[in-house]
Amino acid sequence: MENAASRQIYKKPFTKKIYPYLFIAPFALLVFVFFILPAIATIVMSFTDLNASMKPKFVGVTNFTRIFSDYNLPQILWNTAIFAVLSLAISLLFALIISIATQYFLKGKLSAVLYRVLWLIPSIIPAVVYVTFWKYVFDPTEEGFLNSLMQQFGIVSDPVSWFTKGAMAIVILATIVSTISGGMILLSAAINSIPEDLYKAARVDGASEKSVITKIIMPTLKWPLMYITISELIGFVSSYFFIMLLTGGGPMRDTTTLSLYAYQQAFNLKYYGYGAAVSLIVVFISFILTLFFLRLFDFDQMIRPSRIED
Amino acid sequence: MSPSTLKKTLVHTYMTLFTLPIIAMIVWYFLSATMNFTTGQFSLDNFAFFQEPVEYSGVKLPLIWPIVFNTIIYSLLIVAVEVCISVPTAYAFSRLDFKGKRAAMKFLFLMRSFPGITLIIATFFILVQMQLVNTYLGVLLVAITGSLPGRVYIMKGFFDDVPWDIEWAAMVDGCTRFRAFKKVLVPYVLPGIGAIAVFSFLGAYGEWFLFKLLIFNDDMLTLAGYLSKLITKENQIVNYGLITAIGLFYTLPIVVFYIFTQKIFMSVNLGGAKQV
C-alpha cells in the first residue's frame, strides 16, 4: 500500500502547467488573429464575390475558372517566372563571387571589409530611398543619368524611354543589387569558417586556385546555397515591393507578377474575392517552397527539453 | 609582375567594377541634394522643406516635423512591443517544457519562412471588420505579426546558449523560475535583445507598404510612407533635388546608426543555419 503511494507519479500543479503558456500567449494571440485567421479567410474569400460593396456571396469555384480564362494570365505567369529565376540566378552568382573574392582572395584585408560594407548599403537603406536612384538612372527625360550620358557621347540624339523598353530588366537589376548582400553575409560566414590549414595544405600539394575553389570552398557552401536559394525564391515569388515602387506593374502589364496582380485586383479594382483567389495560388507555391525549406533543418537538434523540473 | 600580384590586381579590378554602381549611387545622392544642376553650384535650396511645407508637382505636402515625430514614435513603439513579446516567447520555446512544444516550434518555423504578405488581402478585410483601418494600432499589429517569428527565432538562439548552471545556481539561491528569468537570464541575453531591437527599428523605420495600404490621412504618415507617396505619385520623378534631399535627411541617421551597430549584423546567426 505504502509502496503504491510512493510510486505515484509526481503531478504538476495546474499553475505550473499553465505557466509556459502564459509566456507564449501574446505571441499566440497575434499569430492567431493576424496569421491563421487571414489564412482561413483567404480560402473562404476566394469562393466569394466580395467586392467594394462588401456584401459577399458564395459563388463556388467561379473565381478559379475565371483565373484560367483570364487573358492576362500567360503573360503574368511568364513575368513571375522570369523575375524569380533571373533574379535568383544572378544574385546568387554575384553573392558567390563577392564572398569568395572578399573572404578568400582578399581575406583579412581592409579593402575586403570596405567592399562588403559598400555592398550592404543597398539593403540597409530604406527601399523608398533606394529605388529613387534607379528611377534617376533610367529616367526617360534628358535629365536621367543614362540618357544624359549617352547624349554627351553622341550615341543617341533623343532621350530613350527605358521603362517602356526594358521595365523588367530594370526591376530585376534593382532587385538583385539589393538582395545580393543577404546571400553574401551567409556565404561569407561559411567561407570564413574554413580552417586556414586546409588552404595551406592545398598550397603545399600544389593545388591551383581553381581546385581550391571547387574542391574546398564549394563543398562547404552546399548547405548555405540551398538555404539562400529557397528563401530568396520564396521572397521573389511572393513580394512585389520594388516592382510597386519602381513601375507599379506597368507599362501595361509588363512587370506585373502573380502576387502583384492579386494585390491590384484586390486593392485597385476592389475585386477582393478574385484577388484572394489569385493570391491563393501564390500562397500555395510559397507553402510548397516553405515545406522544402523546413526539410533543410534538423528539428531534433533545435528542440531541447528543459533541464529544470518544476 | 608576379602572378600573385597580378591575381590581386585582377580581383581588385573586378570588385571595384562591381561596387561602382553603389559608389555612384552614394555620390549621386549627395550631389543631387546639395547642388543646383543648372548653375553647377553648391546650394541648400532643396533643404527648404525644413522650414516650410513644400509643393511637389502641384500638391501641397504637410510640414515634415510632425512626420519625423510620427516616425520616431512608431519605430520606438515597434521596438518596445517586439522585444516585450519576443523575449518571453523565445524563453518558453528554449527553456520550458509544455505540451505541443514541438508542433508550436514547427509552426513558428513555417511562419518565419512563409511570406505573410501573400495573406494581405484577407488581413485587410479582417482589419476592416475590427475597424482598425487608418489607425496606428492596425499597422502596428500587422507589422509585428509579420516580423515576430524571425525575432523569436533569433532570441531563441541566444537563450539556447545560456548555460543551465547559471539558472540552477539562481534557483539554489532561492529564486523562483520567473525571478531567475528576470534577474539572471534576461541580463545574460542583453546582446540578443540589442540585436532584435536594432532589426525591429530598421524594419519599422523603412516600413512604407502598410502605411500606403492602411493609412489614408497624410498627416499620419511616417517618413517612409511620405516618400513612397512622393515617388509613386507619377511614373516619373519631377524634382530629384527635393526627393533626394528628403531622402538624405531620412537615410543619414540610419547609416550612422548602422555603422555603429554593423557588428551585430555580421555576428547574429541569421538563418539558424546549421552548418554555417
pLDDT for the residue numbered A284: 92
**Does B30 fall in a domain?**
yes
Full set of structural domains in chain A with CATH: 73-255 (1.10.3720.10)
Q: How confident is the model at residue A28 (pLDDT cuts 50, 70, 90)?
A: very high
**Does B48 fall in a domain?**
no
The beta strands (E) that lie in chain B are given as 35-36, 41-42, 55-56, 59-60
Partner-chain contact B240 A132, CB within 8 Å: yes
CB of A284 less than 8 A from some CB of B:
no
CB contacts < 8 A, A to B, total: 272
Give dist(CA A212, CA A196) in Å, integer. 12
**Do B24 and B64 sit in the same domain of this protein?**
no
**Do B18 and B122 sit in the same domain of this protein?**
no
**Do B155 and B69 sit in the same domain of this protein?**
yes
pLDDT tens per residue, range B92-105: 998 888 888 888 88
pLDDT for the residue numbered B175: 85
**Do B127 and B220 sit in the same domain of this protein?**
yes
Helix (H, G, I), strand (E, B) or coil at A58: strand
pLDDT tens per residue, range A201-215: 998 988 888 888 888
pLDDT for the residue numbered B176: 85
CATH number at residue B212: 1.10.3720.10
- Whether B11 contacts A107, CB under 8 Å: no
CB of A233 less than 8 A from some CB of B:
no
CA distance A5 to chain B (A): 26
CA distance B37 to chain A (A): 10
Largest Cα span, chain B: 76
**Do B90 and B38 sit in the same domain of this protein?**
no
Give dist(CA A86, CA A121) in Å, integer. 22
**Do B134 and B78 sit in the same domain of this protein?**
yes
Amino acid identity of A212?
Answer: V
Q: Which chain B residue lies closest to A17 (C-alpha atoms)?
A: B98
Share above pLDDT 70 across residues of chain A, in percent, rounded to a whole number: 96
- Residue A48 pairs with which residues in a beta bridge? A58
When divided into structural domains, chain B yields a total of 2
**Do B110 and B173 sit in the same domain of this protein?**
yes
**Do B141 and B178 sit in the same domain of this protein?**
yes
Q: Is the model's pLDDT at A110 over the cut of 80?
A: yes
pLDDT for the residue numbered B271: 39
Residues of chain B with pLDDT under 50: 269-276
Mutation to test the A interface, candidates B36, B118, B158, B250, most A Cβ within 10 Å: B118
Partner-chain contact A42 B231, CB within 8 Å: no
Find the domain containing B27 and state its range.
3-43
pLDDT for the residue numbered B53: 76
Give dist(CA A115, CA A118) in Å, integer. 5
DSSP state of B50: G
CA distance A2 to chain B (A): 30
CA distance B240 to chain A (A): 8
Partner-chain contact A131 B7, CB within 8 Å: no
**Do B186 and B102 sit in the same domain of this protein?**
yes
Which is higher by pLDDT, A78 or A107? A78
**Does B273 fall in a domain?**
no
CB of A64 less than 8 A from some CB of B:
no
pLDDT tens per residue, range B212-250: 899 888 888 888 888 888 887 666 666 788 888 888 889
pLDDT for the residue numbered B274: 36
Q: Which chain A residue lies closest to B147 (C-alpha atoms)?
A: A31
**Do B172 and B101 sit in the same domain of this protein?**
yes
Partner-chain contact B236 A140, CB within 8 Å: yes
**Does B75 fall in a domain?**
yes
Omega of the bond leading into B163 within 30 degrees of 0 (cis): no
**Do B12 and B35 sit in the same domain of this protein?**
yes
Give dist(CA B248, CA B33) in Å, integer. 8
pLDDT for the residue numbered B154: 87
**Do B98 and B232 sit in the same domain of this protein?**
yes
pLDDT tens per residue, range A130-188: 988 998 888 888 778 888 888 888 777 777 888 888 889 999 999 999 999 888 888 98
Q: In chain A, what residues touch B186 (CB-CB under 8 Å)?
A: none
Give dist(CA A108, CA A129) in Å, integer. 32
